[in-house]
Amino acid sequence: DSGVTQTPKHLITATGQRVTLRCSPRSGDLSVYWYQQSLDQGLQFLIQYYNGEERAKGNILERFSAQQFPDLHSELNLSSLELGDSALYFCASSVVLAGGPLSGELFFGEGSRLTVL
């Protein structure tokens, strides 16, 4: 158990719909990352939040958005879903020491498997 919790584990929906994926980071971790992993593909970085603020953005579509709340949990919102959005969405968290070196290690959740029909 990595300490990172993601819900739901599985989600099946139709094209054009909107879904929200939720992530609770490890206790004490301020930084949250979202990754998309399509079938037999690598891990595509979507977005990073640090203590409620967006810090880095990757190949995230405009139909997707995310936020990190004051309690540090994060949500990834996917709208106008297309078949190609079917994937495993991972959330990860890490410790970030302000003013010091980053610990580096990412702790991944079990992922949310999204199927768009």
d(C-alpha 97, C-alpha 83), whole Å: 39
The secondary structure of residue 26, as a DSSP letter, is P
Judged by CB, which is closer to other proteins: 2, or 67? 2
The token pair at 4 is 């990172």
Stretch touching other proteins by CB under 8 A, among 15-23, 41-49, 63-71, 73-81: 41-49
Site for other proteins contains 112 (CB under 8 A): no
Give Cα 48 to chain centroid, integer Å: 8
Judged by CB, which is closer to other proteins: 70, or 104? 104
Site for other proteins contains 45 (CB under 8 A): yes
Site for other proteins contains 28 (CB under 8 A): no
**DSSP sequence for 39-84:** TT---EEEEEEETTEEEEE-S--TTEEEEE-TTS-EEEEE-S--GG
Q: For the window 62-101, what string marks contact with other proteins as x by the rule CB under 8 A? A: ----------------------------x-----x-x---
Judged by CB, which is closer to other proteins: 52, or 79? 52
Judged by CB, which is closer to other proteins: 81, or 109? 109
d(C-alpha 4, C-alpha 111), whole Å: 10
